[in-house]
Amino acid sequence: MNQDVSVERIRVRYGETDQMGHAYYGNYMLWFEQARGRWCRDRGFTYKSLEDMGYKLPVVEVQARYRGEVKYDDLIQVRIHVAEWKRSAVKFAYEIYNETSGQVTTEGYTWHVLVGQEMRAITVPTEVGALMERAPSPETALA
């Protein structure tokens, strides 16, 4: 199992904050998702291309621990890697490092099940497994 880490840098939007002055806890889910997109691109494909092939990876479980502050205009790094594989499921782990404050602020994971057109879980087929097992590579990475 390839556990290389990918990193997505995100600038926090004003509309992602709430009146407490921090990023709202639900908006981290969008950042985790964006990091998954980066993870795919680093390996030379896109999540969109997976859906075009007839597969989807819906989230079946999420957990996040918020330990530090993330505020408007902060530049964060969402660090993502595959933490576990099962027959038809994959677990991504996340760590958010806030470049602006210099702190690791958040940890989390998501579990996904691979489904086909009928939205039923399927064993990861070879063509998908080959993509997901790729090591990230600067040569093949997508912008």
Q: Where on the chain is the footprint of its own copies (CB under 8 A)? A: 11, 13-22, 24-30, 33-34, 37, 46-48, 56, 58-67, 71-73
Interatomic CA distance for residues 42 and 97, integer angstroms: 19
Please provide the distance, in angstroms rounded to a whole number, between the alpha carbons at the two ends of the chain.
24
Smaller CB separation from its own copies, 85 or 109: 109
User: Is the CB of residue 106 less than 8 Å from the CB of residue 65?
Assistant: yes
Q: How far is the CB of 24 from its own copies (least distance, A)?
A: 5
Helix (H) or strand (E) holding 98: strand 89-98
Smaller CB separation from its own copies, 1 or 11: 11
Smaller CB separation from its own copies, 19 or 126: 19
Q: How far is the CB of 16 from its own copies (least distance, A)?
A: 8
Interatomic CA distance for residues 7 and 141, integer angstroms: 12
Neighbours of 81 (CB within 10 A): 19
Helix (H) or strand (E) holding 129: helix 126-132
Smaller CB separation from its own copies, 11 or 87: 11
Q: How far is the CB of 141 from its own copies (least distance, A)?
A: 14
Q: How far is the CB of 6 from its own copies (least distance, A)?
A: 14
